Amino acid sequence: MQQLTGLDAAFLALESPSVYGHVGSVSILNTEGVTEPFDLARLTGLIDSRLPLVPPFRRRLVEVPFGLDQPYWIEDPCFDIEYHVREIALPAPGTRTQLTDQVARLHARPLDRTRPLWEAYLITGLEDGRVAVYTKVHHAAIDGVSGNDLLAAVMDESPDGREIGQLSTPPPEQPPSPISLLARSTCRWPASPCAVRGWPPTSCAPCRRSPAATSGHGCPSSTGCCARAHASCSPTPGCAPRAPRSTPRCHLTVAGPCRRCRSTTSSA
């Protein structure tokens, strides 16, 4: 069992009904010169044989009760590769536009968090007799570098493939009980209190419940955490600090009054 880092847990926390945290890739394969048909059974067998090279493909999440700590990865005791590898056929003539439309629909579906966070689709029916493989993996499981390593582990440069030898996979793990997860979080608190998710609070409750109701500064002007942190400041809209473009607006950590408020206080 391995706990997620703060960055990986953030990719999970930032998901919403309209925003997903997975990344996807499309590979168009040339099947000329292949002695065996590249069908669903062959793709499933290929990925299954390379699973020891791709540990995230067998891990699933275990959430800590009440969200008091970052989730954990465990080896899925009910792993079923046939759930993750699927096949879709494009209608004739199988143009690139049809392929991109189909991939867009597949990418718009969220991943099931009760299973390992990845899916692979064999897309047949492309023009010129080629096939495509669309893969999506959650960003909490891989980053850019490990994503390239994942493709290198599954893909081959020649139709003949390559021998990888006998590799063993880690044994399945039973999910820990909620009591044991809470005990782990309690033990982590004295050593690193800020490591427990949700402390210190980075946004007020109304912001977390209704991001659409927040102002451009991250919190409602009257009830938000920015307003409370700047209670001694002027209630002008420029008082609350603006979120950087790369930071979600409803997850701000207010360190102190903004420059305008400090200058106003010093002049007074």
Where helices occur in 216-257 by DSSP H, the ranges are 225-229
Q: What is the pLDDT of residue 255?
A: 39
Q: Using 50, 70 and 90 to split pLDDT, how confident is the model at 95? A: very high
Q: Domain range for residue 213?
A: 200-268
Encoding tokens for residue 173? 């793990």
pLDDT at 266 exceeding the cut of 50? no
For 260, residues 6+ apart whose C-beta sits below 8 A from its C-beta are 238, 239
CATH of the domain at 106: 3.30.559.10
Q: What is the pLDDT of residue 72?
A: 92
The radius of gyration of the chain's CA atoms, rounded to the nearest angstrom, is 24
22 is catalytic: no
The pLDDT tens digits of the residues spanning 138-188 come to 999 887 666 777 777 777 776 667 777 777 778 888 888 888 888 887 776
Are 15 and 78 members of one domain?
yes
* Catalytic residue selected from 139, 217, 230, 251: 139
Is residue 189 situated within a structural domain? no
Encoding tokens for residue 63? 């959430």
Are 116 and 221 members of one domain?
no
CA–CA separation, 98 and 45 (whole Å): 27
Are 165 and 208 members of one domain?
no
